[in-house]
Amino acid sequence: MKLSRPVSWFLLAFGVWSWFIWVTFVKNLWNDASGLAFDAAGDPTAYFWVHLLLAVTSFLLGTAVGAVGLRGLRALRREKNPTPATSPAPPGPTP
């Protein structure tokens, strides 16, 4: 399957956005003082574990989606500028 340039950029941007958003969320979760993420004894609550699991899942999916976008952009670049090893040999006399 061949991805277009806009789709590849969208997928890469989605992966970066996912990392940005969820890293910020995990920082806020870790520093939570409202009592949702940690109980009075300082132990993590179910809220903390569920949201940490959501964040890790989103990290993994964001990484996978971003990697697909990056691979799409690299393939388009190789197609536009083929290296000498992958370009066909110029026509010439046969030995």
pLDDT-derived band of residue 78, with 50, 70 and 90 as boundaries?
A: confident
Where along the chain do its domains lie?
3-78
Encode pLDDT of 34-74 as tens digits.
Answer: 889 999 898 999 999 999 999 999 999 999 999 999 999 99
Structure token pair of residue 18 = 């996912």
Who's near 25: CB < 8 A, 6+ residues apart?
51, 55
Average pLDDT, the chain: 88
Is 76:50 a contact under the CB 8 Å cutoff? no
Q: Identify the pLDDT of residue 43.
A: 92
5-30 vs 46-80: helix axis angle to the nearest 10? 160
Cα 63 from Cα 20, distance rounded (Å)? 11
**How far from the centroid of its chain's Cα atoms is residue 59's Cα?**
7
